[in-house]
């Protein structure tokens, strides 16, 4: 009898689920009503942000069963011959011209540098050749910004901003033909210097709430009465504003008399205004973090501009937010990530070399485990971030505009670059904190907060955008559920909701299976030895998808305000993406066996961080029974993942200490000076000399230990060895050259007290002579 009742109950449930009208009325309708109560409505600006750009690999990671073919079929990023020639020619020449100390002391780029940047078309890299620009790919654009920015930050910012979110990009996408024909050639030739003004005193990260207003009205322009707008604005933090000749301006347009016929508040609008237009105020400067790039406020009060100043003309009035979000989906993926990666590569190149040439206790400091720990982190950051940069620019060049991935890369690259520079500063010790022309790191260190703050502050990007927008954009069903529920579309909601249920149950099964078996049965693309990492990524993708669904189910719209939880889920998504990129880039590079320690370290550390973030999410879910069950599913044998061991970390650190193909590949794209009077050139010179004479130094150290030579150091030991006949005259010259090269590197700048106490430019300190240094 009991089995009969159970069978009847099962049949009734199946009938309820199978019969769509019955299912919709008895199950889907109540669920939709509950969802409408729990979820906040999506505002117009939020909807436009969600609709901007594309989804790609991020959406695959949300499925819990990523299709590796989607990732691996993406063509690798490659530079054309013309792009490579530009990097080897004009960009290399620009880097030779740049003197960070001079720029910092002058508080601006020298005029010859400005002229070179304009004349070589560096302000028009994204402008097509048809308009006189360089027409570069995203990969080439990224390479230029990385190389210049790592050499000198002010020049890097100056080059990157006109090619990022700004007038050129907006004109290309949305401008009228007349606007494009007028402005784009002038921008490409450097005849116009653009800036874009979005941020104001009360609207920073919440840029959609800009208070700046424009009112549609009639006014006089060039002696004629025309329909236009009277605009008032107060903007700050605007890069290139003090020297700009054309101002891109975002403001909220109002039309109380409905002269445009689109209601009283058309909305956020973007206009392009010549800075010599009456009423435009520019010229004053901020001094962000003491960095010399041109940045400042712009203001205007009741400035009348014609409607034709709107980018795209009057039909684009009120469409500014959608336009900005569309541009940001791509632009945020390039400039700031390139700068962050450049910082990580600079840290890797300089810290590794310095740790090899700087000796303490008669040992290179790079042989100490504490220093190696920092070097390992630096190398790992450089590897994972550069892989993310290459794969993302490849996606952009393939026509994909990954909005969520752009936020991941911006946040991770700027934060990771900061961590790498900080570690490199620790490795350099006192050398890194003394400001002067021989300091290779302080300029980058000084500018670190800038990248963390702009184009969406990292705290906001992590806690609200990466997972908050990512969940709605990338989840296979969630956005459709929200949209159909808000629209009252029961049929559409029924289809989306039960699709979500099937998705949830499938991930539940995958999580149980993969975690019980250690991921051995998870999907892998057949990549040989790399398959073990692909399987673990698939396993963690399923874990992430299940926990994300659980958090959404338990917290609903409240998850938007639980920023600690959403931030940890954002970290998991970020790790999944960057590990995927590391694997793909390793394959695109031809799977060089010498790079495997770097790849293995990145994957091991990434998987450990994912475990820890998911554990913290579960520890803070408010429904404890659900958290308990999820913990049993995710960690059936306990939290078994561990960080990379010290032996692997030592191998990674050694890649920075040894000149060779791995170090060169890891830091590829940096400007490498050959000038011994340049701080970075002197460091490279010292490394070569030290490595070349290492065997000789070891012989002399052994002679000291054996008592055959006195316990001296440096030049004194070398002379004693020569006098005792232990080395030849040519060997002595080699040792002396190496010693002088090292002393040149480890010296720090010193100034006359009077020079530092008086205002104005501090004179360049004279280098101490080598004999004195010795």
pLDDT in tens, 632-666: 999 999 999 999 999 999 999 999 999 999 999 99
464 Cβ contact list (under 8 Å, min separation 6) = 560, 563, 566
Q: Count Cβ atoms below 10 Å from residue 397 Cβ, excluding itself.
A: 18
Assessment of whether the complete model's pTM goes beyond 0.85: yes
Q: Where is mean pLDDT largest: 119-128, 287-296, 331-340? A: 119-128
Residues 496, 501, 502, CA angle at the centre, nearest 5°? 100
* Listed range (69-78, 185-194, 342-351, 458-467) with the worst mean pLDDT: 458-467
For residue 156, is pLDDT > 90? Answer: yes
Q: Report the C-alpha gap between 61 and 581 in whole angstroms.
A: 12
Neighbouring C-beta atoms of residue 18, cutoff 10 Å: 9
Residue 479 in tokens: 């956005």
DSSP string, 95-136: HHH--HHHHHHHTS--HHHHHHHHHTTGGGTTS-GGGTS---
pLDDT band (50, 70, 90) for residue 555: confident
Phi, psi dihedral angles at 155 (to 5 degrees): -65, -40
- Residue 50 pLDDT > 80, yes or no? no
612 is catalytic: no
Question: Mean pLDDT lowest for which of 77-91, 107-121, 215-229, 322-336?
Answer: 322-336
225 beta partners = 220
pLDDT tens string 724-754: 888 899 999 999 999 999 999 999 998 888 8
| Cβ neighbours of residue 540 closer than 8 Å, sequence gap 6 or more | 572, 576, 607, 610
- The larger pLDDT score, comparing residue 156 to residue 16, is at 156
Name every residue whose Cβ is closer than 8 Å to that of residue 598 and which is 6 or more positions away in sequence: 379, 380, 383, 652, 655, 662, 666
**Taking the domain 195-327, which CATH number applies?**
2.40.110.10
Between 646-657 and 369-397, two packed helices, what is the crossing angle to 10 degrees? Answer: 80
pLDDT at 771 over 50: no
What does the pLDDT read at residue 17?
Answer: 52
pLDDT value at residue 481: 84
Q: What is the pLDDT at residue 478?
A: 86
The band of 8, judged by pLDDT with boundaries at 50, 70 and 90, is very low
Band of pLDDT at residue 3, cut at 50, 70 and 90: low
Q: Which two tokens stand for residue 195?
A: 């800036």
Query: Strand, helix or coil at 200?
Result: strand
Instruction: Burial-class residue 277 by CB neighbours within 10 Å (0-12, 13-18, 19+).
Output: middle
Lowest pLDDT segment from 375-384, 490-499, 599-608? 490-499
CATH number for the domain running over 81-164: 1.10.540.10
% the chain with pLDDT above 70:
93
DSSP state of 77: P
Residues 6+ apart with CB under 8 A from 300: 231, 232, 233, 279, 280, 281
- Phi and psi at residue 649, to the nearest 5°: -60, -35
Who wins on pLDDT, 42 or 385?
Answer: 385
CA angle, 677 then 653 then 692, to 5°: 45
Q: What percent of the chain has pLDDT over 90?
A: 70
- The DSSP H or E segment spanning 461 is none
Asked if residue 498 has pLDDT above 70, the reply is yes
Q: What is the mean pLDDT of residues 388-405?
A: 95
pLDDT attached to residue 328: 78
What's the mean pLDDT when you consider all of the chain?
90
47-74+332-671 folds as Butyryl-CoA Dehydrogenase, subunit A; domain 3 (1.20.140)
Kindly report which listed range (27-36, 119-128, 276-285, 692-701) carries the lowest average pLDDT score: 27-36
Banded model confidence at residue 759, pLDDT cuts 50, 70, 90 = low
Q: Measured in whole angstroms, how far is the alpha carbon of residue 465 from the centre of its chain?
A: 14
Which residue among the candidates 455, 605, 684, 689 is catalytic per the annotation? 455
pLDDT exceeds 50 at position 617: yes
Domain residue ranges in the chain: 47-74+332-671, 81-164, 195-327, 693-773
Give Rg (Cα) of the chain: 30
Nearest by Cα to 480 from 66, 43, 35:
35
Give the residue with greater pLDDT, 308 vs 469: 308
Q: How confident is the model at residue 41 (pLDDT cuts 50, 70, 90)?
A: low
- pLDDT at residue 767 greater than cutoff 70: no
CA-CA distance, 585 to 265, in Å (whole number)? 48
């Amino acid at each position: 009898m009991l089995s009969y009742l159970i069978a009847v109950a099962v049949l009734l449930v199946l009938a309820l689920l199978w019969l769509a009208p019955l299912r919709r009325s008895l199950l889907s309708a109540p669920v939709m009503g509950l969802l409408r109560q729990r979820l906040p409505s999506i505002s117009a600006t939020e909807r436009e942000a969600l609709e901007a750009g594309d989804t790609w690999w991020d959406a695959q990671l949300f499925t819990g069963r990523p299709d590796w073919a989607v990732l691996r079929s993406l063509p690798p990023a490659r530079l054309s011959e013309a792009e490579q020639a530009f990097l080897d020619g004009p960009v290399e020449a620009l880097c030779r011209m740049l003197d960070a100390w001079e720029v910092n002391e002058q508080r601006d780029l020298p005029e010859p540098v400005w002229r070179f940047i304009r004349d070589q078309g560096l302000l028009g890299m994204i402008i097509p050749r048809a308009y006189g620009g360089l027409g570069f790919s995203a990969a080439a654009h990224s390479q230029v910004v990385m190389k210049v920015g790592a050499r000198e930050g002010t020049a890097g910012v100056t080059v990157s901003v006109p090619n990022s979110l700004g007038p050129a990009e907006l004109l290309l996408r949305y401008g009228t033909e007349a606007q494009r024909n007028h402005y784009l050639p002038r921008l490409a030739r450097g005849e116009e210097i653009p800036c874009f003004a979005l941020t104001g005193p009360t609207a920073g990260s919440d840029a959609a709430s800009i208070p700046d207003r424009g009112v549609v009205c009639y006014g006089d322009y060039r002696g004629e009465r025309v329909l236009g707008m009277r605009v008032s604005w107060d903007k700050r933090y605007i890069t290139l504003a003090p020297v700009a000749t054309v101002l891109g301006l975002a403001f909220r347009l109002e039309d109380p008399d409905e002269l445009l016929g689109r209601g009283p508040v058309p909305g956020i609008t973007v206009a392009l205004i010549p800075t010599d237009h009456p009423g435009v105020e520019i010229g004053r400067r901020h001094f962000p973090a003491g960095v010399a790039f041109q940045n400042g406020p712009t203001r205007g009060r009741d400035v009348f501009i014609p409607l034709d100043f709107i980018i795209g003309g009057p039909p684009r009035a009120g469409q500014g937010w959608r336009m900005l979000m569309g541009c940001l989906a791509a632009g945020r993926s390039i400039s700031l990530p390139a700068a962050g990666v450049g910082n990580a590569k600079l840290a890797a190149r300089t810290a590794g070399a310095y740790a090899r040439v700087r000796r303490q206790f008669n040992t290179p400091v790079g042989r100490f485990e504490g220093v190696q720990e920092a070097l390992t982190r630096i190398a790992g950051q450089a590897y994972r971030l550069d892989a993310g940069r290459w794969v993302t620019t490849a996606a952009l060049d393939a026509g994909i505009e990954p909005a969520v991935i752009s936020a991941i890369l911006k946040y991770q690259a700027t934060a990771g670059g900061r961590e790498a520079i900080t570690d490199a500063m620790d490795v350099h010790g006192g050398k890194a904190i003394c400001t002067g022309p021989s300091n290779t790191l302080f300029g980058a260190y000084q500018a670190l907060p800038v990248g963390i703050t702009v184009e969406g502050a990292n705290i906001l990007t992590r806690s609200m955008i990466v997972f908050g927008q990512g969940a709605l954009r990338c989840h296979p069903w969630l956005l459709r559920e929200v949209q159909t529920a808000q629209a009252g579309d029961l049929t559409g909601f029924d289809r989306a909701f039960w699709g979500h249920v099937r998705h949830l149950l499938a991930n539940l099964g995958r999580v149980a299976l993969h975690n019980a078996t250690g991921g051995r049965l998870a999907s892998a693309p057949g990549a040989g030895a790399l398959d073990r990492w692909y399987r673990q990524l698939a396993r963690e993708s399923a874990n992430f998808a299940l926990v994300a669904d659980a958090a959404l189910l338990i917290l609903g719209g409240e998850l938007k305000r639980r920023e600690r939880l959403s931030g940890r889920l954002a970290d998991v998504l970020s790790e999944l993406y960057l590990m995927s990129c590391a694997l793909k880039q390793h394959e695109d590079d031809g799977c060089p066996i010498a790079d495997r320690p770097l790849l293995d370290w990145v994957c091991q550390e990434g998987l450990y961080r994912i475990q820890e973030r998911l554990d913290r999410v579960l520890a803070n879910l408010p429904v404890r029974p659900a958290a308990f069950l999820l913990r049993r599913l995710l960690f059936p044998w306990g939290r078994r993942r561990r960080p990379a061991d010290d032996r692997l970390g030592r191998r990674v650190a050694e890649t920075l200490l040894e000149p060779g193909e791995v170090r060169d590949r890891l830091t590829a794209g940096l400007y490498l000076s050959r000038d011994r009077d340049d701080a970075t050139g002197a460091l490279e010179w010292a490394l070569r000399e030290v490595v070349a004479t290492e065997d000789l130094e070891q012989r002399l150290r052994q002679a000291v230990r054996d008592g055959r030579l006195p316990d001296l150091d440096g030049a004194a030991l070398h002379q004693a060895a020569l006098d005792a006949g232990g080395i030849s005259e040519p060997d002595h010259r080699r040792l002396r050259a190496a010693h002088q090269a090292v002393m040149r590197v480890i010296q720090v700048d010193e100034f006359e007290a009077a020079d530092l106490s008086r205002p104005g430019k501090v004179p360049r300190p004279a280098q101490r002579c080598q004999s004195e240094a010795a």
